[in-house]
Amino acid sequence: MEGGGRPSAVQAALLAASTALTALLYSVYRQKARVARGLQGARRVRLDGELQAVLLEAPGRCVPYAVIEGVVRSVKETLSSQFVENCKGVIQRLTLQEHKMVWNRTTHLWNDYEKIIHQRTNTTPFDLVPQEDGTGITVRVMKPLDAAELSLETVYEKFHPSVQSFTDVIGHYISGERPKGIQETEQMLKVGTALTGVGELVLDNATIKLQPPKQGMPYYLSGMDFDSLLQKQESNVRFWKILTVVFGFATCAVLFFILRKQYRHHRERRHLRQMQDEFRQAQERLMRETNAEGGETLKNACVICLSNIKSCVFLECGHVCSCKECYRALPEPKKCPICRQAISRVVPLYNS
């Protein structure tokens, strides 16, 4: 604690940082909890012949947040894998990722570093259809790339290591960057994949569309079933809740430590004021007694405690100014409180 009982700059900064981090974690927890509650309240609809009737009865022919499960089927021509034969899909993502080692000048270690140097995503319109096709009911999936939990399967992956000469190795050590190679990856959402879609379900003329919701809720196209998706979100909520509680307790601990320091400082100041008041009262009482006795007591009082009678002579200076108790309490080497000369010996003083 600094003077006046104020917290130090380090303590104040620690409390501010802990409070800000707790507030940030609480904000994330509330957002995750809102998403989980939204999923719990989402309306589950079946992809069957009654779906169109359900939407006709809904206000505005729209279910704001609905859950529907189906199988991917392409509307037009499917996308073919560039590396795998007879692999058809509706979303294709090609990625080139650079892998290298970077020298950390602080830790003096080589750290792995990854960077996407090129990525291309191709899409084609697709529908969700019932697993047992035959009802003729389809749901057109809109803006699939905006969906969270988009289930893309890695169908091809190959790592191309860098070929380095001796001169290249020396140059890499000097520059602090050592290439490892390029990783080539192809991911696809294949035709026939079972998907769980969560979003706004709307009937547009004769077409049923699944699209991102307008209420700020997340849009999902997940390969998991709805119960697994809900459990995953609830697990995220619990994780952020525990993290918020832990940092909240840490913030309370820092605040308690600062308040405890302030309380102890306040108590010490109050004790000091009490001692000063007692000393002032003792002086006033002594002055009253001295005035009542004609000033003789003050004349013969010890200059240190002002309560006992002078009872010893300090040699070699010859000053008579202290009682025996205060003489014994003087620190070593003992010096006369009047002239500050060293006391070689003490002679008792007898008043008759």
pLDDT tens for each residue of 295-345: 455 567 788 887 788 888 888 888 888 888 888 888 888 888 888 888 888
pLDDT range class, residue 47, cuts 50, 70, 90:
confident
Measured at the alpha carbon of residue 12, what is the angle toward residues 6 and 18, in degrees to the nearest 5? 145
Asked if residues 69 and 199 have their Cβ atoms less than 8 Å apart, the reply is no
Closest CA to 202 of 51, 70, 72, 39: 51
Q: Average per-residue pLDDT in the chain?
A: 86
State pLDDT tens for residues 152-196. Answer: 999 999 999 988 888 877 887 888 888 889 999 999 999 999 999
Angle between helices 9-40 and 226-292 (to 10 degrees): 150
Prediction pTM value: 0.66
Q: Please state the φ and ψ torsions of residue 298, each to the nearest 5 degrees.
A: -65, -35
pLDDT of residue 234: 93
Q: Which position has the higher pLDDT, 321 or 68?
A: 68
Question: Averaged over 11-26, what is the pLDDT?
Answer: 90
Give the integer Cα–Cα distance in Å for 210 and 222.
Answer: 13
- State the residue for tokens 């849009």: 219
Residue 99, phi then psi, degrees to nearest 5: -115, 130
pLDDT in tens, 123-139: 999 999 988 766 678 89
> Residue 233 in 3-state DSSP?
helix
How far from chain centre, in Å, is Cα 77? 48
Residue 133: predicted pLDDT: 63
What single-letter DSSP state applies at residue 301?
Answer: B
pLDDT at 271: 87
Tell me the residue length of the chain: 352
The pairing of beta strand 139-141 with beta strand 220-222: unpaired
Torsion of CA 109, 114, 117, 119, to 10 degrees: 180
